[in-house]
Amino acid sequence: MMHEKDRTIVEISAGIEAQMRRHGVEYLSGAASFQAEVQHHPDVTIRVAVATSHTRLVHARHVLIATGSEVAPPAGDVIRIDERVVVSSTGALNLRQLPRRLVILGAGAIGMELGCVYNSLGTEVFVADYAEKVLGFLDADVSSFLLKHFLAAGFRFRMAHRLVSCEVQAGDRARVSIQDSVSGRVETIEDVDVVLIATGRRADTKGLGLERIGIHPDRTGRIPISASFEASISLLTDGGIDRSQERVRGRRCGPGNHAGS
* Tens-place pLDDT, residues 145-154: 999 999 999 9
Q: Residue 251: which domain range?
A: 2-69+202-258
Residues 142 and 153 occupy one common structural domain: yes
Both 81 and 189 in one domain: the answer is yes
Judge if 93 and 171 occupy the same domain: yes
Q: How many domains, in total, are found in the chain?
A: 2
Shared domain check, 82 and 135: yes
Q: Are residues 57 and 154 in the same domain?
A: no
Mark whether 178 and 222 lie in a shared domain.
no
Task: Provide mean pLDDT across the span 234-245.
Answer: 50
Residue 144: band (very low, low, confident or very high) from pLDDT cuts 50, 70, 90: very high
CATH of the domain at 219: 3.50.50.60
Q: Are residues 216 and 151 in the same domain?
A: no
Give the tens place of pLDDT for each residue, 156-186.
Answer: 999 999 999 999 998 889 999 999 999 999 9
Which of 181, 199, 217 delimits the end of a domain?
199
pTM: 0.79
pLDDT at residue 240 tops 80: no
Q: Per-residue pLDDT averaged across 104-130, rounded?
A: 97
Cβ–Cβ under 8 Å, residues 62 and 235:
yes
71 to 12, 16, 103, 236: CA distances (angstroms): 24, 26, 16, 23
Q: Is the same domain home to 122 and 95? A: yes
